[in-house]
Amino acid sequence: MWRYVTLLYRVLDMEYLITAYSDIGIKKRTNQDSMFIKVAETEYGKVCFSVLCDGMGGLAKGELASASIIRDFSKWFEYEFPEMLYKGINPENLRKTWENLIYESNYKIGYYSQHHNAQMGSTVSALLIVDGIYYIIHVGDSRIYLLDNTIKQLTKDQTFIQQEMDAGRMTPEEARRDPRRNMLLQCVGASNVIEPDFYLGEIQENSVFAICSDGFRHVITEEEIYAGLNPSISYNETIMYDNAVSLVELNKSRQEEDNISVALVRVT
């Protein structure tokens, strides 16, 4: 059951600290991750929107797929979201709008792949914060974490090993070592059928959202992520950026071979 929220009569004065960092990593020739964070001043308070996409494909094709999805979401936020905000956010309408955007992206990327003999695709994890409520749309194995007094993984990986863990056929420890950990069940542009996950919930002030590609979290623990990014130390954007860089470098020191990206939003 979705909880319907109208913004016309209730405004929370929220502020945001934001930063992002991306690294090509120690092995790949191109960085196929794409992301953005936007904060908009509105009549109903400040709104924050962040999207991260992890592209897959030979040479620069993954970069093309992820950048294409980023452009689609950016245009939506600029041109379509203001009217939706003015009318009042209806979670069901927002979910359908985002799903249609992803379906269109899936078709466009798939069409390009077929006509250019190039397999390509991308994950997508999008986070919208409006008036004390977060909304998420998610495909693939990028992740969104919420850090307050602890760390919570808000999204669920759409992967083979997650499916195996859900069925009780694999333990988390086995999953961390399994060579099939990057096997996606869904990928925008490379899947015939896409079923995005949609999440929403209330947030408190002094919370931190971390949106990351899988390269950011394969070889470090949630405890290490929390120690580096939790609200008690994320009190300005310079520190948030420096700590994000430190965690990326920790990943590289442990021989993470993928591109590594993270976007941070602190709600104050």
233-253 tens-digit pLDDT: 999 999 999 999 999 999 999
Angle at 130 (CA atoms; ends 125, 132), nearest 5 degrees: 105
pLDDT at position 4 is 28
Q: CATH fold of 16-156+188-267, please?
A: Phosphatase 2c; domain 1 (3.60.40)
Rounded (to 5) percent helix, strand, coil in the chain: 35, 30, 35
85-99 tens-digit pLDDT: 999 999 999 999 999
pLDDT at position 65 is 96
135-138, long-range: CB < 8 A, 24+ apart: 135/89, 135/91, 135/94, 135/198, 135/199, 135/200, 136/197, 136/198, 136/199, 136/200, 137/95, 137/98, 137/99, 137/102, 137/196, 137/197, 137/198, 138/196, 138/197, 138/198, 138/199
Q: Which residues pair with 127 in a beta bridge?
A: 50, 136
> E strand or H helix at 166, and its extent?
helix 160-166
Consecutive 10-residue runs of the chain (268 residues): their mean pLDDT? 31 86 95 97 93 84 95 97 94 98 96 89 97 96 97 96 92 83 90 95 95 96 98 97 98 96 97
- Give the span between the Cα atoms of 97 and 179, in whole angstroms: 36
Closest-CA residue to 264 (of 50, 54, 78, 77): 50
pLDDT at position 43 is 87
What Cα–Cα distance (Å) separates residue 1 from each residue in 4, 91, 97, 134?
9, 10, 18, 16
Q: Which burial class, exposed, middle or buried, applies to 18 when counting CB atoms under 10 A from its CB (0-12, 13-18, 19+)? A: middle
pLDDT at position 180 is 85
DSSP state string for 183-194? -BS--BTT-SS-
